[in-house]
Amino acid sequence: MELRDLKVIVTGAAQGMGAHFARRLAEAGAKVAAGDVNEAGLAALPEGVHRRRLDVTSPDDARAFVAWAAGAMGGLNALVNNAGIIRDGLLVRRDRASGEVTTLSEADWDAVIAVNLTGATRMVREAVAAMARAGTRPGVVVNLSSVARHGNRGQSNYVAAKASLAANTVTWAREFAPLGVRVGAVAPGMIETPMTKGMNQKARDALVAAVPVGRIGEPEDIWKAVRFVIECDYFDGRTVDVDGGLVM
């Protein structure tokens, strides 16, 4: 699909990669509907980008957002499924000094699953249902997975969600083929955004030192892959790792 023909929803568009994707899409002539729980953050997006508060953990919100977006853009043929959070922690941790054993909290597990797994799946369901009801084809969905999908210490909740998104990218590509909707995923490595700025500095430095290309990634590195998934009509059901070689 051509970028200029897109009527695209971008979730988590108030900052980081989502904001970058929304900006790049708008520059290319796409119609963009940007959603985020951080409504104030959406204000920085370029003029012409439609914006509205969206909490992907709410079924009502997701449905209402998709209906509004299709109305505002005069249709809907693409979703960049980007909203995500982290709540890192070892599943079971023994403190070196005290010997005390603690565990990942139910709340941290549930929060990450609610946004990154259930919320992301909900957005695919609602967006593709809207395309199917309107008889719109072709369509495309780009899921934001993560290289953590291969397994990563301290991220049980995040790994579960991102691995599921990658596996279901295959499921949905097969399910939506009769509807004319392709589904692809991009799995970033370590990218410079507010999400990684909030990470433990030691963990962050160790990760960056392990990147073969020798630097942290930029949102633009991931945009190139998102753009590829959108533009290449022969790409379907697969997840592209874009991690500077970090996972090998």
Which residue ranges make up the site for ligand NAD (CB under 6 A)? 11-12, 14-18, 36-38, 41, 54-57, 82-85, 115, 119, 144, 146, 188, 190-191, 193-196
Separation of alpha carbons 68 and 178, rounded Å: 25
Closest to ligand NAD by CB, 38 vs 200, is: 38
Separation of alpha carbons 119 and 17, rounded Å: 18
In angstroms, give the least distance from the CB of 122 to ligand NAD.
Answer: 10
Separation of alpha carbons 80 and 121, rounded Å: 12
Closest to ligand NAD by CB, 12 vs 139, is: 12
Separation of alpha carbons 121 and 62, rounded Å: 11
In angstroms, give the least distance from the CB of 188 to ligand NAD.
Answer: 4
Closest to ligand NAD by CB, 94 vs 224, is: 224
Closest to ligand NAD by CB, 29 vs 151, is: 151
Annotated catalytic residue 158: yes
In angstroms, give the least distance from the CB of 178 to ligand NAD.
Answer: 28
Separation of alpha carbons 44 and 42, rounded Å: 5
Closest to ligand NAD by CB, 83 vs 136, is: 83
What is the C-alpha radius of gyration for the chain, rounded to an integer number of angstroms? 18
- CA 100, 106, 109, 112 dihedral sign is negative
From the list 21, 65, 158, 172, the catalytic residue is 158
Q: How many CB atoms lie within 10 A of CB 88?
A: 19
Separation of alpha carbons 190 and 162, rounded Å: 14
Indicate which residues carry an active-site annotation: 158
